[in-house]
Structure 1
């Protein structure tokens, strides 16, 4: 609280606090748009690849159990989309290509990377 009292008497600090406040408002809108994009891609991934992960799990797992990164449910699909946006997409795309086929997985993963990184 003392910082805000100091800002009233120090014009440069007051200007800096106003700029930071305006930036946080715009960042909130951007975060909301990114969350909507991640939600949409998680639902698309779950709908397109969820059944394939269940039916063809023996192609990617020796004991025929689902791996940690799969798109069978919404939560894991959401985590995969978040992982792709963070740059860790190679292993999950390889598993997707093994269970669902190359063209569709490459298309979806590239769309996630391009659209997600543009937002």
Structure 2
């Protein structure tokens, strides 16, 4: 029977599925976390916690995971992401590298703003 041909399941098929489901065990538990999260906190964060929050953000990897969730129907996210990674390795590498670059840009921007503010305060205090 080819993939294009299909048939309605008979009673033997239904009994076989019920028998297999009764002894089946999921190898991995389902995710308790939301499917898409950018790693940033909802409440206001200041100081070092802000830098840590920015370093945990994965904008492009979340995009990759979103496409994996939309494209594949595997039971766990890990299997869906692995399937998409095998199908599109260049997209995966692009997302990982883009996350690294985005984190670097965000860190430089936040550190630059903080440094500029510190220099401004020092200049006003001492000059």
User: Please, what TM-score do these two structures have when normalized by structure 1?
Assistant: 0.32
Query: Quick check: which has more Rg, 1 or 2?
Result: 2
| Bigger share in helix | 1
User: Please, what TM-score do these two structures have when normalized by structure 2?
Assistant: 0.30
